[in-house]
Chains A and B, each alone.
Chain A
Amino acid sequence: MSEKQTVDALTKFTLSRHKDRPGVRDYVSHIFTDVLELHGDRSFGDDPAMYTAIARLEGIPVTVIGHVKGHTVQANIASNFGMAHPEGYRKAMRQMKQAEKFGRPIITFVDTPGADCGVGAEERGQGLAIAENLRDMMGLRVPIISTVIGEGGSGGALGIACANRVLMLENATYSVISPRGFASILWKDPTREKEAAQTLRMTADDLLALGIIDEVIPEPEGGAHLDHIAAADVLKVNILKNLSDLLEKDKEMIYNERYEKFRKMGQYKIIE
């Protein structure tokens, strides 16, 4: 562990986007059984960048949601590099509301550079789609566990990450903007990427210290991309541990605890 902590933030950011890093489909096949993928937002279409399914986790019925990235260029093009469109966020919310109806806990896997930034996304209300997910996820009465498995890119990540427990893989990152974007905007110098990654405090350890995430999940030596099964095994144990804890609580407690958890986030100053 101590050796790994010396890995700098930009290296972790690069690792978090590694093409061989396990994605939602890899984790799903190792962690769940009786998996049935369900498609579409029942309004516009089916977004291949957003995965939604029902399944069992050690026998417990659950709803599974996650951004989709591919291991090859073709697969990445097909899933838009994990950048979901408004219909992707609406598809996720449709499944999350159904999860609440049937009392299924929700397990999400966060892995996106950000929400899609195209003309179609604007025309179909990307802002509204994410906003509704934030409000409605925060209001759900079933347990939600989110894990940032790779890249946690801004609002596009948060759109499926308003959870009772937010876990993060050791080499995953989670940020309001990419290091390059941060350096370009605040320093007008995109080459200061390394410094930006450090300043942004976007690594799992940093975010644990800031109270934004709840747990850091260790990865196999060298990173999750080197051993998908070992990474999935450790993650499964940690999801199960959190789930069994959350299943002890009644619906209102599930809602209240999630509200209070996010309510406390932020650091500000009182003057006078």
Chain B
Amino acid sequence: MSELFKDLFKKAQYITIPDSIKNLPDSKKKSKEEVSSEPKIVCTKCKKEVAPDKYAVALRVCPHCGAHARLNARDRIAMTVDEGSFEELFSEITSANPLEFEGYTEKVEKLRSQTRLNEAVVTGRARIHGEACMLAVMDSTFMMASMGSAVGEKLTRLFEAATVERLPVVIFTASGGARMHEGTLSLMQMAKVSAAVGLHSDAGLLYITVLCDPTTGGVVASFAMLGDVILSEPKALIGFAGRRVIEGTIGKKLPEDFQSAEFQLEHGFVDAIVPRAELPEKIALIIGLSKGGEAR
């Protein structure tokens, strides 16, 4: 387990706080004075100002329009898993620079120190409302959570480990797609991870994806759409091709809600849209109802 998660989850000195904010990371539990000195938060969707404390309590959900702000992996894990239950796996894996693309190594190094993550996905073992699972959370602050060899390898290992241990897999997706800097090797990760999804599925095991804003490109065209159950956060952008690419192809503007979670639900590609606050409970419910699978 990395240092980062050690100090985040192994602490026992939690005070009594309301259930709704119990799973928030320490960074969000600020005193009144600290809150008032913080910079103003503006909702990226409705552009209205949000009081920081309110925003934190609402799991970073805008109280005006209900927009779900993008979360980093740390915050997501903290608000999803049972306290102290997260054990990070495969954190030692990070990107190489197979195409010797100028600036890529430096970019990854810089992001590693900025985000204190080694890659764009965090993988590990967890419990969600008491249900054991293998968990992956993509972090869009790390190169738009694009999938290169390291992300592909971590996810493949997670599915393989879950198959051996007969555990469900839960993935919170958020990604710009394949990582261009690794060329065709990134493309191949789509096949590699999808094969591991198939292996896990053939063992009669459950896979849940939670599509978060934004889930696009090669991630949509591989593991994101392969969940037995596909949930989405409200208003998340979910699509294969980029909006500008499509607009360029058809020569006109697309409607605002094109490729939204609601659009995908309407077209039959998402099982349910679940507000952030209800996700852990719904995930646990699905796991609890899906334990009768047998190997093919």
* Residues of chain A whose beta carbon lies under 8 Å from any beta carbon of chain B: 115, 117-119, 121-128, 130-132, 134-136, 138-139, 154-155, 158-159, 162, 174-177, 182, 185-186, 199-202, 207, 210, 212, 258-259, 262-263, 265-272
B184's partner among A122, A135, A138, A174 (CB-CB below 8 A) is A174
How far is the CB of A40 from the nearest CB of chain B, in Å?
Answer: 20
Question: B residues 198-222 with Cβ under 8 Å of A?
Answer: 198-199, 201-202, 217-218, 220-222
Q: Which stretch, B32-40, B48-56, B242-250, touches the partner chain A?
A: B242-250
Residues A259 and B195 in contact, CB atoms below 8 Å apart: yes
Contacts of B96 in A (CB 8 A): 267-269
Residues B93 and A115 in contact, CB atoms below 8 Å apart: no
Residues A136 and B221 in contact, CB atoms below 8 Å apart: no
Contacts of B241 in A (CB 8 A): 117, 121-122, 126
How far is the CB of B193 from the nearest CB of chain A, in Å?
Answer: 8
Contacts of B232 in A (CB 8 A): none
A268-B148, A269-B96 provided; 6 other pairs, C-beta below 8 A? Answer: A126-B221, A135-B195, A135-B201, A200-B183, A207-B184, A267-B96
Contacts of A162 in B (CB 8 A): 191, 195
Instruction: Report how far A182 CA is from B220 CA in the complex, Å.
Output: 20
Instruction: Report how far A138 CA is from B196 CA in the complex, Å.
Output: 9
Residues A176 and B187 in contact, CB atoms below 8 Å apart: yes
Residues B99 and A201 in contact, CB atoms below 8 Å apart: yes
Contacts of A201 in B (CB 8 A): 99, 183-184
Contacts of B94 in A (CB 8 A): 268-271
**A135-B226, A186-B181, A201-B99 known; A122 vs B259 contact (CB < 8 Å):** yes
Residues A134 and B246 in contact, CB atoms below 8 Å apart: no
B224's partner among A127, A132, A155, A266 (CB-CB below 8 A) is A127
17 contacts between A and B (CB under 8 A): A119-B246, A119-B258, A127-B221, A128-B220, A131-B190, A135-B195, A139-B198, A155-B187, A155-B240, A175-B183, A212-B185, A212-B188, A259-B199, A262-B188, A263-B192, A267-B96, A268-B153
Instruction: Report how far A199 CA is from B202 CA in the complex, Å.
Output: 38
Instruction: Report how far A200 CA is from B93 CA in the complex, Å.
Output: 23
B185's partner among A128, A259, A263, A265 (CB-CB below 8 A) is A265
Contacts of A269 in B (CB 8 A): 93-96, 150
Residues A200 and B189 in contact, CB atoms below 8 Å apart: no
Residues A122 and B92 in contact, CB atoms below 8 Å apart: no
* Residues of chain B whose beta carbon lies under 8 Å from any beta carbon of chain A: 92-96, 98-99, 101, 118, 148-150, 152-153, 156, 178, 180-192, 194-199, 201-202, 217-218, 220-226, 239-241, 245-246, 249-250, 254, 258-259, 267-269
Residues A158 and B187 in contact, CB atoms below 8 Å apart: yes
Contacts of A122 in B (CB 8 A): 239-241, 246, 258-259
**A115-B240, A128-B269 known; A139 vs B185 contact (CB < 8 Å):** no
Residues B187 and A118 in contact, CB atoms below 8 Å apart: no
From B153, B183, B185, B191, residue with most partner A Cβ within 10 Å: B191
From B183, B197, B202, B254, residue with most partner A Cβ within 10 Å: B183
A175's partner among B156, B187, B222 (CB-CB below 8 A) is B187
A131's partner among B93, B223, B239, B254 (CB-CB below 8 A) is B223
Contacts of B149 in A (CB 8 A): 265-268
Residues B249 and A262 in contact, CB atoms below 8 Å apart: no
Chain A residue nearest to B252 in the complex (CB): A119
Chain A residue nearest to B242 in the complex (CB): A117
Instruction: Report how far A176 CA is from B217 CA in the complex, Å.
Output: 11
Instruction: Report how far A54 CA is from B234 CA in the complex, Å.
Output: 45
Contacts of B218 in A (CB 8 A): 154-155, 176
Chain B residue nearest to A162 in the complex (CB): B191
Instruction: Report how far A162 CA is from B92 CA in the complex, Å.
Output: 28
Contacts of B202 in A (CB 8 A): 139
Residues B185 and A131 in contact, CB atoms below 8 Å apart: no
